[in-house]
Amino acid sequence: MDTYRLFVGVVFAISVFLLADAWVRDHATPPKPPPSPTVQSGAQQTPPPIPTVGGPTQSNPVAGQTAPKAAGPVAQTGPGPLGTGERVEVHTDYLVADIDTLGGDLRRVELLQHRDRTDTGKNFVLLQSTADQTYIAQSGLIGNGLPSHNTHYSAASARYELAQGQDSVVVKLTPVDTSNVKVTKTFTFHRASYVIDVSFQITNQTSTAIDPYAYFQLLRDSKPPAGDSKMVPTYSGAEVYTEKDKLQKVTFSDIEANKGSYPKSAGDGWVALVQHYFLTAWLPKAGVSREFFLKPIGNGLLSAGVIVPVGSIAPGQTAISEAQLYVGPQEQDQLKVLAPGLELTVDYGWLRVLAVPLFWVLNKIHEVVGNWGVAIIILTIIIKLIFYPLSAASYKSMARMKLLAPKLQRLKERFGDDRQKMHEAMIELYKTEKINPLGGCLPIVVQIPVFIALYWTLLLSVELRHAPFVLWIHDLSAPDPYYILPVLMGATMFIQSWLNPAPPDPMQAKLMKIMPVAFSVFFFFFPAGLVLYWLVNNILSIAQQWQITRSLERSKPAHGAS
């Protein structure tokens, strides 16, 4: 095996690993979990029907009751099937949220700490209800006379703001059409937090016990998030987590086709919709049984949610059903604190065991240097030092192959097109020179998982989003606007090919010259942080390879010249 084949083989192996890993993340169907028994709550034996955008299903098997119809016809003035009421605006230090009094839906959430992908002069909007995108959070109750997300509510004010010195701001909504069951829907927004508490306080003013359920769902279309790169694909879709079945992913296309495997009932867990860097998740209260659902509901919309029993409420008694809604970035340290398994939405896949410590080290370096680009450089150097013995063995093998290049060329000239004799002569030469032509391959292959883990670490870290480096690099998560880093990386590949022996085959030699150009163009579309890593790694590899090659060339007479 000559150096060309080694190089191409390693590049091919890395490419296959990346492509296969990406395919598994996005398309592989998780193993179907064993059927779980329906979790019971008191005398309630059957889970309620799943609500739809048009309101909960009208027949409710719970206690022989019938679910309420929408409070009057829903006005079709909003996008798609959504009606609109009045808007209630909430301002905190992290969020600007719009609550619609029709259903008490969260129709818009703007993240004040994150910029828009395409227009950095604006804040990033995750939840929205526009002509271009529908992505909202809904919640309601299932039971006779109880409010759903089709119910009209009223609020005490049209604007709420987190005041100086306050830790939270509370928005209370009450149904316009009252019944013998008094309900108050409450949103609680917290300082320095992307978590919104959503609760229903239910007072039974009837003469008989009631057994309501609460549902919390995310409603969105299947359009890819604006600004996502098609060259560097990342997962967008639904995820359901339980302690028993762990993380289960269901793509938007599988939801539309009523496919996909996920636990339908559990005593713990959460449901989320994720996209590159951000997620929205419903986190029911711990210790409460729950039913998960993912389904298409028509008009190009999908629903992902959870249903929880409130429990039996006797006449004159009050019960509260609550859940947390997370609307924000995939910041791993914060997600880990909120709910078990929520940090898994940062999907490193099968290399998580390597990617998590790599990110931890990268984050610690950033805490010291204060620049993510510098942190990437330092981490690359650390990894290079750790793998120095393996890299040295690989480069020594390649350097020895380079020293053999003249002899291999003479063998080719001697045997011409007789490949059999040529092959036998090459094997004999390798034995004489005590060189293993595969010696440079294994050390590189061993490092591939680490390289790929670091690739996903840099690609999925929201901390790098809009993080500046130096001069023209203002966003390490976006491609280099002037393509300087990809061009430099291509130049380092030219230098590496020059340090290696020229392939004896003319076609292979031409490919070696074309590959740096092809890879430079390919990396034009990669995030600058990833290109920076490859550039620094190449520079360090060149320095190491040059030093080893020079050392062996000095001792060339010891190998014998001829």
pLDDT digits (tens, 9 = 90+) for 247-259: 999 999 999 999 8
How far, in whole angstroms, is CA 194 from its chain's centroid?
A: 17
Cα 203 to Cα 181: distance, rounded to the nearest angstrom: 6
Assess whether pLDDT exceeds 70 at residue 552.
no
The answer to whether 219 touches 196, Cβ cutoff 8 Å, is no
State yes or no: pLDDT of 3 exceeds 60: no
Tens of pLDDT, residue by residue over 185-204, are 999 999 999 999 999 999 99
431 exposed, middle or buried (CB, 10 Å; 0-12, 13-18, 19+)? exposed
For residue 55, give the DSSP letter.
Answer: B
The model's confidence at residue 321, banded by pLDDT at 50, 70 and 90, is very high
Concatenating the DSSP letter of every residue in 71-128 gives: SSPPP--SSTT-----EEEEE-SSEEEEEETBTTEEEEEEEEEEE-SS-TTSEEEEEE
Q: If you average pLDDT over every residue of the chain, what do you get?
A: 80
Task: Decide: 438 and 385 in contact? Cβ < 8 Å.
Answer: no
User: Per residue in 331-342, pLDDT tens?
Assistant: 998 999 999 999
Spatial separation of the C-alpha atoms in residues 168 and 186, rounded to whole Å: 13
Give the residue, 500 or 450, on which the prediction is more confident. Answer: 450
**Do 485 and 536 contact (CB within 8 A), yes or no?**
no
pLDDT tens track for 438-468: 555 655 677 788 888 888 898 899 999 999 9
Question: What is the separation of C-alpha 497 from the centre of its chain, rounded to a whole number of angstroms?
Answer: 35
Best CA proximity match to 171, nearest among 154, 186, 182: 186
- Which pLDDT score, from 0 to 100, does residue 165 have? 93
Q: Mean pLDDT lowest for which of 7-11, 269-273, 290-294? A: 7-11
Distance CA 498, CA 305 (A): 57
pLDDT tens figures, 392-422? 666 666 666 666 667 777 777 777 676 777 7
Residues 6+ apart with CB under 8 A from 177: 71, 151, 152
The predicted structure's pLDDT at residue 64: 31
Cα–Cα nearest to 534, from 499, 498, 488, 470: 488
In the numeric block, the tokens 């053999």 are attached to: 404
Q: What is the DSSP letter of 349?
A: G
Element holding 155 (H helix, E strand): strand 153-155
Burial 368-384 (b: 16+ CB within 10 A, else e): eeebbbbbbbbbbeebb
Q: Looking at residue 118, what is its pLDDT?
A: 81
For residue 467, report the phi and psi dihedrals to the nearest 5 degrees: -85, 125
Whose tokens are 């090919």? That residue is 497
CB 198 within 8 A of CB 324: yes
For every residue of 415-472, DSSP letters joined together read HTT-HHHHHHHHHHHHHHHT--TTTTTHHHHHHHHHHHHHHHHHHH-GGGTT---STT
**Rounded distance, CA 116 to CA 124, Å?**
4
pLDDT band for position 71 (cuts 50, 70, 90): very low
How far is it, in rounded angstroms, from Cα 299 to Cα 13?
Answer: 43
- Ordered by where they begin, the domains of the chain are 3-17+359-555 (no CATH), 71-347 (2.70.98.90)
Instruction: Enter the DSSP assignment of 40.
Output: P
Please list, in sequence order, all residues whose beta carbon lies within 8 angstroms of the beta carbon of residue 225, skipping any fewer than 6 positions away: 236, 275, 276, 278
Euclidean distance between CA atoms 146 and 176, whole angstroms: 12
pTM of the model: 0.79
Cβ(483)–Cβ(491) below 8 Å: no
Strands 318-329 and 168-175, bridge-based pairing: unpaired
Residue 141: DSSP 8-state: E
Residue 308 has pLDDT above 60, yes or no: yes
Element (DSSP H or E) covering residue 297: strand 290-298
What span, in angstroms and rounded, lies between the C-alpha atoms of 407 and 424? 14
pLDDT of residue 230: 64
Q: In Å, how far are 97, 247, 287, 333 from 359, measured between CA atoms?
A: 31, 21, 32, 11
- Checking if the pLDDT of 378 tops 50, the result is yes
